[in-house]
Amino acid sequence: MPATPLKFYRYALSGHAHRVELMLSLLEVPHESIDVDLRRREQKLPEFLALNAFGQVPVIDDNGAVVADSTAILVYLAKRYGGEAWLPQDPVGAAAVQRWLSVASGPLAAGPASARLVTLFGAPLDADATLARAHALLGVMEGELGRRRFLAGDAPTIADVACYAYVAHAPEGNVSLAEYPRIRAWLASIENLPRFVPMASSPVGLLAA
């Protein structure tokens, strides 16, 4: 464990940041959470851009090792603190995890995450297109989870951590999970892991009063 707590720069409603928050908790890594207010564009201030020139959360500073990008941080944390349990080293296992990290940065971001951006932050995106992409992805995930308990195998990996938040919070973007029983079971399996921490929910989309 680090000599001093790892610094974790986050925004509480960011699914990307939640990936890191969840991994830090699962691995019991001591850390200090530092909130960055995206609505006030604090991520574009010079002191934050010095940490991540792209001006995005999350970022970690692990005693001088600064890592940006949520999936890159998951890889770092698994290699630094979690071992093979969270990031397999064999070629097949490593490739299976990487496949879903790519999904997290691609179809998941373009589908459920973007649909949530529309309802929660008023993003000027085509809502119907984001919903179509979301359900296309969820259909694939439902089929994949019919062959294994977790995304990359029969045990949880950083692939599941990378995909959890935006799927769990898909209803905030008007994406119903009612037709995906295997996905709902997968979400429950993650939520039942020791030291699981949830992301704050927002009363928008299907969760609106």
On whether the CB atoms of residues 106 and 100 are closer than 8 A, the answer is: no
* pLDDT tens per residue across all 209 residues of the chain: 446 899 999 999 999 999 999 999 999 999 999 999 988 898 999 999 999 999 999 999 999 999 999 999 999 999 999 878 899 999 999 999 999 999 999 999 999 999 999 999 999 999 999 999 999 999 999 999 999 999 999 999 999 999 999 999 999 999 999 999 999 999 999 999 999 999 999 999 999 96
Q: How many other CB atoms sit within 10 Å of the CB of residue 139?
A: 13
Q: What is the CATH number of domain 91-207?
A: 1.20.1050.10
The answer to whether 12 touches 37, Cβ cutoff 8 Å, is no
CATH topology assigned to domain 6-85: Glutaredoxin (3.40.30)
So what's the pLDDT on residue 1?
47
* Residue extents of the structural domains in the chain: 6-85, 91-207
Angle at the Cα of 83 (from 71 to 29), degrees rounded to 5?
70
Q: Give the global pTM.
A: 0.95
CA–CA–CA angle 36, 100, 12 (5° rounding): 20
User: In whole angstroms, what is the distance from residue 21 CA to residue 15 CA?
Assistant: 10
Helix (H, G, I), strand (E, B), or coil: what is residue 34? Answer: strand
> Residue 24 has what pLDDT?
97
The pLDDT of residue 2 is: 47
123 within 8 A of 114, measured Cβ to Cβ: yes
